Each structure stands twice: as C-alpha cells, then as structure tokens.
Amino acid sequence: MNGAAKLVRPRRQSQNELLVQPMLNYSCAGGSGNGLSYGVCTVQGYRPHMEDRYTARASVRTGHPVYGQASFFAVYDGHGGDWVSSFCVREKCSFLDFLIEDEQLTSLLAQQSPICDYRDCLRRLFLGYDRKIRREIDYQRNRADSCGSTAVVLLICRRHLLLANCGDSRGVVYIDYGNYYNRVTVDHSVTHILNKELSTVEIRTERQRFDGLRYEMDRDRGLRKPHDKLGHGLMVTRAFGDYDFKGDDLHNLVTAEPSINHGTYFFKGHERLAALASDGLWDVFTTEEVCEFALHQLKRRSSVQTVARDLLQCALEAGSRDNLTLVLVCFDKNIELALPQDVGQLRDETDRLADAVAREDLARATTETEVQQLAQRLAAKMVRITSEAVFGEQDAGSGQQQPAQRCFSRVCYFFWLRRARQRLRRALGDPGLPALDEANDDDGEDED
C-alpha cells in the first residue's frame, strides 16, 4: 500500500503565522573546559513560539573517569509544539543522560576504540531514545504524537569527535587545512531529497520512503520544492517524535535514524571551531559564510558568546523568519589572536561615520526608506574597511575576492547594516529604532 495515501492526520500545530515584529528575546550563555570554549545564543524571532532547545556542557560529568574529559553540545529544533524538544533537555531523561548511561558507548570512549565501532552504537542510541519518547507520550496520554524535534549532537572525548544528526539542523566543523569546511551532517528534508543534495546512498535510502512525492520548480533558484509538504507542514524526513508518520502502514515516512556516515574522526590538530544550529540560520547563510565570519570575529578578540549573538542578529537582518539557535565551539589553543585591529575599534569607526552621515543628510533623511538607504551605504563602506583589516588592503581592493573573503563579507554586511541603522536613527534624533534593533543594545555581552 502506498504510504503517501495514508497521510490523513489531524492538522499539526502551525508556526506558519509569523509575528509582525520579531521577538528579540536573546538568551546567551557560555563556558569553557577540556581545552575548548563555547558560546550559545537563542532568539524567538518572527515565530509565535520558541520551540528550539539546546544542551551545552564543556564537561559532561565532573570527576567521571570518561565523561569528566568529555564535552557535549546539541541543538533540538522542535516542530508541532515544543514537547519533544523540551523532553530532549529535561533533567534525568534528556538525550545526554540517555547517552552516558549506555555501557557500550562508555566502553568505546574509555578504550578509544576505532571510529567505525561508534556508528552502530550511535544509531542504536538514537532509535532507542525515540522509543523512550514514545513510551513517555503513551504514559502521559498528552496527545503529543504530532510533535517532533530534529537533533544535531556533538560529543568530544579526548581524541574523538563524534557528530550526528537527524533532521535539518546542521553541524559543521571548520578545519584550517587549506580553508576546508568539513560539513559532517546531512540535512534531512523533503527539499534536499528532491534536489538530490545528499550522497548517493542517502538519496537511495530516502527516496525509497518518498517515492511519488510531487514537486514544482522554483524558477528563480532553479530548485525543486515540494508541491505538498509532508503531513500538513512537516518538511523534515528524520526526527525524534512525529509518531503520526511512523509505523508499518506509513512505511516510516519519518525516522529517527541518524546520519553519521561522515560524522566521526580523530582530531588532526587543524580544527578551529564547530557550529551547531537550527535551520533558521542555514536558511539565510551557507556553511562557509558562518564559519568564515565566526573565525575572523574570534581572531579579532570577540568572545565566542558575542560572535554567536552577532550571527543570529545578522540572520534576522538577512531575512530569517524561524526560531534561531546557535552553539559555537572554539578550540582555544588553535585560535591565534593575530589581527592588529579589534572589533571595538571598528565599531567606534562605524559610530563616527554614522554621525557624520547623519549630520550631512539630516535634512534629506526624513523617511524610513531614506534612513535605510543611508544605512546600506554606510554598511557597504564598513565592509570594505573590515575586509581590508582581515584580508589585506591589496586583496580587498583588487575586485577579485577569494571565496573565503566573499563569504566573510556577505555576513559582515548584515552585521554593519544593523549597527549603522541603529546609530543613524539615534544620531537623527529618532527614538524609535527599526524592528530588528534593541533600544538597550550596545552590542555588549550577556551574562551567563
């Protein structure tokens, strides 16, 4: 029987209705330990509810012979409600607790076993935790069958780095070895299946479950997009929960089996940073853009926590309409603070330029559109200044930017656009700041 024909389910709770103004309830945290530091930032954005959750532990369990030397990070992007994503971080029953209670995983980490030994173990743990969630839902009878959550997790223990995911939350490790971005997770979504943005093995496996899915072409981007979203708004093909779409009669249209084919390896000494984020960030920025911006901001003496917040603010400027969560992990010993000009100096320069522009155009800038145009002009100038500081004046002025420079400059533009518009409105004497700015935000750091 065709599984697609069985998709007659109660309509899942929708987050499609966007807010007119974004909720700028930024929440930031950070910490360090085991030779690394991390920063986390979340913001609700334009969605009516915050359904993202995360876990960040520089030391999983202090004093433990194995997990005392282990670090764990995860992002869970809920959909249809926040019950499943909240369960993944709930005390004593979180996904992290489920992992560290497993004797096989503990033994593998203790023995520093070969990488290939972890794959079956991680697959078993993902599927086992999905069954645990189902038992809890059945026990509570809370009608959470239509809820689900993606998961991307990073476990670091001595020389091992394990990265796995199910769903479209993405994890990436930047390796400074010829500017190589090691994207070790695969986005499991209907769109990626249709556009064959998976490996040959992944496509074969996924398409068997979605044979006959209708699509239409996006003429502007040349991409296929689903004609009917899977199950009244569900776009992911792998996730915890979503039990409306799991079972023999539905051929497991959604599964919790993780993608770990390229997710485990030994440290080589060239790793610089890792980023885990919900799809709200990856909707507007590429892997390369996020990594280049983060790396160069860290080199410019910004804290990891501040860089994470900067990236989310840039994502809202770039048009993201989803919940946003980013966990940024920096391998401290590998970051060299080599650039002579720090972010604070550039921000002072932005303020001076903005004040000058405001005085010059005070009579003309009377509408929101004119203020926006001034901000865009100022942001473009600041991108040139920043690019010269990072990549050198000759390269920046040659007109032939390298890929890394182009990636950095695109995110940097939204970084300066936000600050320029904020400063211009203040300099022009308008107390009402644009929607994406915060009245009390001076780009300071949040408390943990």
DSSP characters over 131-149: HHHHHHHHHHT---TT-EE
Q: Quote the CA–CA distance of 371 and 362 in Å, as a whole number.
A: 10
pLDDT of the residue at 47: 95
Is 152 found in the same domain as 47? yes
Handedness of CA 286, 195, 79, 254 (dihedral sign): negative
Give the count of domains, the chain: 2
Is 386 found in the same domain as 324? no
From 313, 334, 355, the end of a domain falls on 334
- Concatenated DSSP letters for 248-262? GGGT-SSB---B-TT
Is 167 found in the same domain as 21? yes
Q: In this structure, are residues 54 and 41 in contact, taking their beta carbons and an 8 Å threshold?
A: no
Domain that holds residue 386: 343-427
Q: In this structure, are residues 327 and 56 in contact, taking their beta carbons and an 8 Å threshold?
A: yes
pLDDT of the residue at 341: 47
Is residue 399 a part of any domain in this protein? yes
- Concatenated DSSP letters for 10-79? PPPPP--S--SS-B---EEEEEEETTEEEEEEEE-BTSSS--EEEEEESSSSTT-TTGGGEEEEEEEEEE
Is 107 found in the same domain as 38? yes
From 303, 334, 365, the end of a domain falls on 334
Is 351 found in the same domain as 270? no
Is residue 207 a part of any domain in this protein? no
Q: How many other C-beta atoms can be found within 10 angstroms of the C-beta atom of residue 247?
A: 12
Q: Quote the CA–CA distance of 134 and 169 in Å, as a whole number.
A: 21
pTM of the model: 0.82
Pairing state between β 160-166 and 271-277: unpaired
- Which segments of 161-303 does DSSP mark as H helices, in order? 190-194, 200-209, 279-282, 287-299
Is 372 found in the same domain as 326? no
SS3 382: helix
Handedness of CA 87, 89, 93, 95 (dihedral sign): positive
Angstrom distances, CA of residue 222 to CA of 60, 113, 142, 195, 229: 45, 44, 42, 10, 19
- How open is the CA angle 274-77-124, to the nearest 5 degrees? 80
Closest CA to 117 of 300, 299, 264, 284: 264
Is residue 217 a part of any domain in this protein? no
Is residue 222 a part of any domain in this protein? no
pLDDT of the residue at 418: 87
pLDDT of the residue at 111: 87
The residue count of the chain comes to 448
Is 167 found in the same domain as 289? yes
pLDDT of the residue at 118: 85
Which CATH number is 272's domain given? Answer: 3.60.40.10
Is residue 27 a part of any domain in this protein? yes
Is residue 148 a part of any domain in this protein? yes
**Residue 98: how many CA atoms within 13 Å on its side-chain side?**
20
In which residue ranges of the chain is pLDDT below 70? 1-16, 141-144, 176-184, 190-234, 248-252, 261-271, 301, 332-351, 353-368, 392-401, 427-448
Is 30 found in the same domain as 117? yes
Is residue 5 a part of any domain in this protein? no
Q: pLDDT tens across 212-253, in order? A: 444 443 444 444 444 444 444 567 888 999 888 777 655 567
Handedness of CA 245, 247, 250, 252 (dihedral sign): positive
**Residue 207: how many CA atoms within 13 Å on its side-chain side?**
15
Q: Quote the CA–CA distance of 54 and 76 in Å, as a whole number.
A: 6
Q: Quote the CA–CA distance of 22 and 43 in Å, as a whole number.
A: 9
Is residue 208 a part of any domain in this protein? no
E strand or H helix at 407:
helix 403-427
